[in-house]
Every structure is written in C-alpha cells, then in structure tokens.
Amino acid sequence: MNKLCKSGIVLAAAAMLGSCMTACGNTEQKEQANPPNDSAKAEEPIELVFYGGQSNWTDEMFWALYGDPIKKKFPHITPKFISNQKVKLTSLMTAGEPIDLLLVTSTGTPAYILNYQLQTDISGLIKESKFDLGRFDPNIVNIQRDLAKGGMYALPVFTQFPILFYNRSLFDKFGVPYPKDGMTWDETYNLAAKMSRIDAGTKYYGFGTTLTFHMKTSQIPLTLVDPATNKARSDDRIKQVFHNFSRFFTIPEFVATEAMSKGTAYENMFFKDQTLAMWSHYTNLARRMPDTEQLNWDAVSLPYYPEAKGIASSVDPYFLYITSTSKHKKQAFEVSAFLTSVEAQIELAKEGFTPVIRDKAVQDAFGQNNKNYAGKNIKAFFPDKIAAAPPYSPYYSLADASLLNAFSKVVIGKTDVNTALREYEEEANKKIEEQIKSEK
C-alpha cells in the first residue's frame, strides 16, 4: 500500500476527519449494539455502481480502500467503479447508465446531484437501521441537514480541513523557530515576514495559501451568499478574512504573481523548489508529500483569530450520496454505513486519510502505512473543536470564484480593496441571477 500512499491527489478519497470529528467516544460499542441491517439469511447477489464524482479515485485506490473491503463484508454485493477522470457524469446520465453511489462535497452537490435530481432522503433508512449519527461531529450532520432542508441525502465518508504545513529545513537554514500549535494569525504573519527574503539570489516566501479554503471553512462565521435573498455579500467578517490573507502579500520581498494570488503556484514552491516556508492547505495534502528525505515537513494547527481561540476551521466533508435512481437503496445505505465504521475507518486512517469519526483506535492507526507520518505532529490533524459550516447556498461556488478574482486583483496591484469587493458583488450577483433564470 506504500504505492497507494504516494498516489492520488488530495481530493482523492482523501482523508476522513476523525480529527476534528467529535462526539462518539464509544463508537465501537454503539456499532456493535446497532449493526446496520445485518441479515442472517443469504442475500440476493447485486451490483452496486460507484461514481468518483469530485474525487480523484484511481481504480487501484478504490479497490484497495473501498471495493475489496466491501466485497469481504458483503459477499453478495459486487462493487463496480466508474472513474470521473475517464467518464463525465453528463455522459452517464445521457446514456442512462445506473449509478448507485456518488461522492461529492456539499458545494459540489448542486452540480453533481441536484441538477440531475439524483438526491433522495435517507432519513427513513437511518431510522430503520437505528444508525447512530452521534458518531459524527454535529457540525457535519448539520451540513447535510441544511443542504437537505432538514433531511439527510448522504453520510459523510471522509473530510478535509486546513492546517499549517511547514518546511523544517528552511526554518533551520535561517535560524528561525518552527511554527507552533495555537498560533494567532498575527504571530503567523510576523513569522512569515522573518522567513520572506532573498538569499544567494533565491527568493523565499514565508507563507502561502488559497483564499477559497478559508472562506469555505472559516473559523469565524461567514455568509458569502445569503440563502434568504440569494445575494452575494461582502460584510465586515468577509472583509476581515480578505484582509487577513491579503496582508501576507504586502511583506517586503513578497512579489506576487497571479498564480500565487490564486494559490496555484504553491505546490511547486513547497514540494519541488522548496522556496515556500509555510503552506496552509487541507489535511489530505500530507498523503502525497514527497519522501521525508526530500522534503523535511511537519504541520501545526491552523492559526486562529482572537475571537475564535481554540476553534479549528469548519470541515469540507465528502458525502457518499445514494442516488434517487438506485434500485438498491437499502444495500447502498448498508455499504455507506459500513464505510463509517471503526473497522473501515482504521484501514483508511492507516493510509493517512483523516477519519470522519472520533475513535481512539482510528486515531492511533493514523498514518501507520505511510513512513512520512513518522515523527510528525499528528495531533494537528485531530483538533478538539471545529467551527460551524456557513449556511448552505447552491450558488456558493459562483460567489467564491468571483471573490477569488477580486482577491487576485488586489494583491497583484490591479485595484484597491473597496473597488475589488464592489466589483465582486456585482459580478457574483449577475452570475447568480443568470443561474436562477436558467433553472426556471
């Protein structure tokens, strides 16, 4: 499985957040008391079709982490995997191909689920099987409740959230103390200023990230699109987050490119060139870090705002949707439930996926099959308290893209903050209005 550890991309079947996932200390006992619809009688053989959705599952990854364990647990079920990298969802829908289970995030739900009317409320299946939603952090359940207007369309099977990765070798090179858990954003800014410099003709940058991550999973409550009015917003809190990250681009010697302003340049800077000291990215990034011999990395908790001390960012979970067109909804639910069990989560945690339940055995297994996790600050992947997710809007992605464009214009010097935010609202609201019209 070491091969598996190095493959895939973050979103892949990335990481199940046992980490920030709270509640449920006695998950194992609860699962034994309430097995998800186990049947003593032989089941009729069926095929369940999985579509990769927003993930970057490869065939190898799916079968190692999902397909084979499912076949072992449910001998009557034959999983079939369709890669989103090879086949577009539109093609499957046009051809009338069956899909039973589909993996997407909450913000991807409109494009992958709602636009095709693939949603179905599984509240009845949850109640019938006595499935314990308490194994998940309430904030994760609330994301689905909000999205499904009080119901549940899917169970979470893995998640991601931002933490702060850093290059130990660069801090050693310049004699600067390493980042620590529990830093404020102001302390992080000061540390980034110390690490931003030109040395022997090479330009080094103290900090990089993508604004999109921090708007979507903000530690302080944000509402990018008002669900009551479907209007994009740029209130004081949004301006606070906007300013917090734009100021890093004002550090002397920090000359931003457009790729840096949108976050697309940092992977090469951190992995390959090693000119980036700190990189705030989703937890599942760690699975594809180069060997420690090539990149001496570690991680700490995401820095916090003064009014959100001790609170990690909200999470960006991936949900395994049972489709409205599935002819095997009960069996698909049983499989979904199994993938949230201690048994299944341990195997994923071993590969470095951040688990979605809070359980000591799962946390203890984290990264066991990946040598790059040895000696790392694993507790950064398991915060005690997470922030609530922003109110759900099917138009969030439209506003988010416009806001990132505005941010880019500001930090590369094309316009000022007030103008950029005004233009962002105008652009986002125009896109939302056009989208609403197209839905009628």
pLDDT in tens, 7-38: 333 333 333 333 333 334 444 434 433 444 44
Q: Are residues 325 and 210 in the same domain?
A: no
Per-residue pLDDT at 39:
44
Task: Identify the domain boundary among 331, 349, 381.
Answer: 381
Mean pLDDT score, 185-214: 96
Task: Identify the domain boundary among 340, 359, 381.
Answer: 381
Mean pLDDT score, 334-349: 95
Q: Which of 171, 391, 183, 161 is nearest to 274 (CA)?
A: 171
Per-residue pLDDT at 365:
94
Give the model confidence (pLDDT) of 77-100 as tens digits: 999 999 998 999 999 999 999 999
Q: Are residues 325 and 183 in the same domain?
A: no
Q: Are residues 235 and 339 in the same domain?
A: no
Please check whether residue 402 lies inside any domain of the structure.
no
Report whether pLDDT(234) > 70. Answer: yes
Per-residue pLDDT at 375:
92
Mean pLDDT score, 102-106: 92
Mean pLDDT score, 178-186: 97
Our count of domains for the chain comes to 2
Tokens of 17: 């957040």
Report whether pLDDT(193) > 80. Answer: yes
Q: Cα separation of 131 and 38, whole Å? A: 12
Please check whether residue 413 lies inside any domain of the structure.
no
Q: Are residues 53 and 168 in the same domain?
A: no
Please check whether residue 250 lies inside any domain of the structure.
yes
Please check whether residue 432 lies inside any domain of the structure.
no
Per-residue pLDDT at 42:
59
Give the model confidence (pLDDT) of 267-316 as tens digits: 999 999 999 999 999 999 998 888 888 999 999 999 999 999 999 999 99
Q: Cα separation of 159 and 107, whole Å? A: 13
DSSP H helices, 102-167, are 109-112, 123-128, 138-147
Please check whether residue 49 lies inside any domain of the structure.
yes
Do residues 155 and 268 touch, judged by C-beta distance below 8 A? no
**Angle formed at CA 388 by CA 209 and CA 240, multiple of 5 degrees:** 50
Residues listed for the chain: 440
Q: Are residues 134 and 220 in the same domain?
A: no
* Between 106 and 304, the higher pLDDT residue: 304
Count CB-CB contacts under 10 A for residue 385. Answer: 12
Tokens of 362: 């799962």
Query: What mean pLDDT, rounded, does the chain reach?
Result: 89
Per-residue pLDDT at 396:
94
Please check whether residue 411 lies inside any domain of the structure.
no
Do residues 432 and 398 touch, judged by C-beta distance below 8 A? yes
Q: Are residues 46 and 124 in the same domain?
A: yes
CATH number at residue 192: 3.40.190.10
Q: How far is CA 125 from CA 39, 331, 333, in A?
A: 15, 10, 7
Please check whether residue 254 lies inside any domain of the structure.
yes
Task: Identify the domain boundary among 308, 326, 348.
Answer: 308
Report whether pLDDT(171) > 50. Answer: yes
Confidence grade of residue 55 (pLDDT, cut at 50, 70, 90)? confident
For residue 270, the enclosing domain spans 162-308
Q: Are residues 22 and 73 in the same domain?
A: yes
Q: Are residues 221 and 275 in the same domain?
A: yes
Please check whether residue 398 lies inside any domain of the structure.
no
DSSP 186-247: HHHHHHHHHH-EEETTEEEEEEE--HHHHHHT-SS---SEETTTTEE---HHHHHHHHHHHG
DSSP 29-60: HHHHHS-SS--SSPPPPEEEEEE-TTS---HH
Q: Are residues 121 and 62 in the same domain?
A: yes
Q: Are residues 269 and 335 in the same domain?
A: no
Per-residue pLDDT at 255:
84
Q: Cα separation of 180 and 420, whole Å? A: 34
Q: Are residues 6 and 150 in the same domain?
A: yes
Per-residue pLDDT at 56:
81
Beta bridge partners of 411: none
Q: Cα separation of 170 and 142, whole Å? A: 41
Long-range contacts of 173-181 (CB under 8 A, 24+ apart): 173/199, 174/199, 174/204, 178/298, 178/300, 179/278, 179/300, 180/300, 181/300, 181/301, 181/377, 181/379, 181/380
Express as a percent the part of the chain with pLDDT over 90.
81
Per-residue pLDDT at 92:
94
Q: Cα separation of 2 and 276, whole Å? A: 26
Backbone angles phi, psi at 349, to 5 degrees: -60, -35
Confidence grade of residue 414 (pLDDT, cut at 50, 70, 90)? very high
Q: Are residues 277 and 375 in the same domain?
A: no
Beta bridge partners of 78: 47
